[in-house]
Amino acid sequence: MSSIKIYDTTLRDGSQAEGISFTVEDKIRIAQKLDEMGAHYIEGGWPGSNPRDINFFSKVNRVKFLQTKITAFGSTRYPNKKVEEDKVIQALMRTETEVVTIFGKTWDLHVRDALSTSLDENLRMIFESINYLKKHRTEVLFDAEHFFDGYKNNPEYAIKTIKEAESGGADWIVLCDTNGGSLPDEVHSIFSEVKNSINVRLGIHAHNDSEVAVANSLRAVEAGAQQIQGTINGIGERCGNTNLISIIPNLKIKMGLDCVSNGQLEKLKDVSAFVDELANKAHWNQQPFVGKSAFAHKGGIHVSAVRKNPETYEHIKPEVVGNSQRILISDLSGKSNVLHKAKEFGIDVEAGEPKIQKILETLKESENLGFQYEGAEASFELLMRDALGEKEVFFDFISFRVIVEKQQEDKESVSEATVKLKVNGVQEVSTEEGIGPVNALDKAIKKALIKFYPELKKVDLYDYKVRILEEKRGTRAKTRVLIESGDEHKKWGTVGVSENIIEASWQALIDSIAFKLNAFSKSSDKKT
């Protein structure tokens, strides 16, 4: 079976999408998920463009990955600059990643109008940049920007640019349909011609402005591409990038090409939902392969047929991509997902156990209220353990109060939280001020509990996201709060839902504390 490398650029190209902004912690969590999914390369960002990406590369170097190679992205040197003095090139050097990707101009129109330099100088920029980086890095990729438009306008010059990249020592040359205007037959034809012109391994980077990025990428593979660049859920600038969530199963299942393992393929749905949640986007129910509706059947002939033989209306088995069949009249799906999660959490439960049904009922009730557990794995584990009678209770809630006071227009408001809890029959009252009501609540909760559970000193709140669930209701709408917490060993997500944003935040905070205490208790039991 031929092997195709998956190059994910969600954290760089994907984050350029309108309305999307990942924190450094978001990016690290997503990178870990992508690694589990089997991505061979993860483009972490452009360290020469913003402080956030510089921070990401300094932190990600301390993270252990199963197989993926973290890649830094940049451009060729500036016109008439030496590579040793070029800010972009030197920013790439400071990342210390083994792999770097740089893009360069291959369309003569861009060389003249965007770079305002000569065609010959652009060729030197490509060669010198790659040649310099190759002396210091294990692997260098060249993204041939606007290649298909460049080739259509001036094929001789477009080929010259990638030959310079080859001469410079590039390990990969990736042909880019940067404006997303090419059609599948054009991509296949041009790719085939390029394949006969150079000996370096080729990849494809397609944008979706004509709604054919996935088709263009698959046609490029048919013409010899050995790497596909894309993003999770196709997010990206303008109309987005090649959607890896569609690419991966099409490669593996439909085309018989090796790209990820069967186990990694089963993680597709979870990864898709996880990225959407951290991007603060609603899940696309009709998304092929992984959408909630992708294998849903409603009434009549379809339901009758699919119950007898799923192949009648399903092009693949939904389980192979982590999805499940749904019969919308009477929903029969869910048990396999619960059992899978139970195994993941180390919960011992049998398929026929009645408590599984209780978990399903609780899950459906929660989802009806607006809860979503993608990105909130800790809350879902607590839900399961509670239903199975395995959740330990470490304190009892009595009350909380939050006051936000602003005394002068030009001064910051002050938030104060008071929390009343009972631990082992002893009532604890604590009051703390914070930067905003949620921060004050977080500090007050921990102040009340740390004397009983000192392990909470090591728990920090890393991220906080709010999602409006009923936009038409305005300020009366339900809100979903997603919180990321962590200690020196791991990070975990929790969720809360309420019409009151403070109440939703409280739910997520309490789950975060409860998860830590339950996890600590289990680990202590193992040691004893």
Q: What is the mean pLDDT of the chain?
A: 91
Q: Tell me which of 121-130, 334-343, 367-376 is least confident.
A: 334-343
Q: Give me the residues paired with residue 103 across strands.
A: 75, 143
Alpha helices (H) in 422-461, listed in sequence order? 437-449
Q: Considering Cα of 391, then 396, then 398, then 402, what sign does the dihedral take?
A: negative
Cα–Cα distance between 442 and 505 in angstroms, integer? Answer: 9
The whole-number average pLDDT for the span 229-256 is 97
For residue 75, what are the contacts with CB-CB under 8 A and spacing of at least 6?
48, 88, 102, 103, 104
- Among 6-20, 300-314, 396-410, 439-453, the minimum mean pLDDT is found in 300-314
Query: What is the second-level CATH architecture of the domain 356-388+460-528?
Result: 2-Layer Sandwich (3.30)
**What pLDDT shows up at residue 376?**
86
Tokens representing 182 are 């090419």
- The pLDDT tens digits of the residues spanning 361-419 come to 888 788 788 888 877 889 989 988 888 888 899 999 999 999 998 887 878 888 999 99
Write down the pTM of the prediction.
0.72
Cα 233 → chain centroid: 9
Which among 40-44, 56-60, 305-309, 375-379 has the top mean pLDDT? Answer: 40-44
Q: What is the mean pLDDT of residues 331-341?
A: 58
CA 8 to chain centre: 10
Q: Which strands, in side-by-side order, build the sheet including 460-468?
A: 460-468, 479-486, 491-498
The boundaries of every CATH 3.30.160.340 domain in the chain are 356-388+460-528
Token pair 């990206």 in the structure block, residue? 236
Where in the sequence of the chain do the CATH 3.20.20.70 domains occur?
5-278
For residues 297 and 303, is the Cβ–Cβ distance under 8 A? yes
Angle at CA of residue 87, ends 84 and 90, nearest 5°: 55
CB 185 within 8 A of CB 210: no
Question: How large is the average pLDDT for residues 121-134?
Answer: 98
The DSSP 8-state label assigned to residue 476 in this structure reads: G
5-278 is classed CATH 3.20.20.70: yes
Q: pLDDT digit string (tens) for 13-44?
A: 999 999 999 999 999 999 999 999 999 999 99
Class of domain 395-452: alpha beta
Rounded average pLDDT over 77-97: 94
**Do 440 and 411 meet the contact criterion of CB atoms below 8 Å apart?**
no
- Within 10 angstroms of residue 394's Cβ, the number of other Cβ atoms is 18
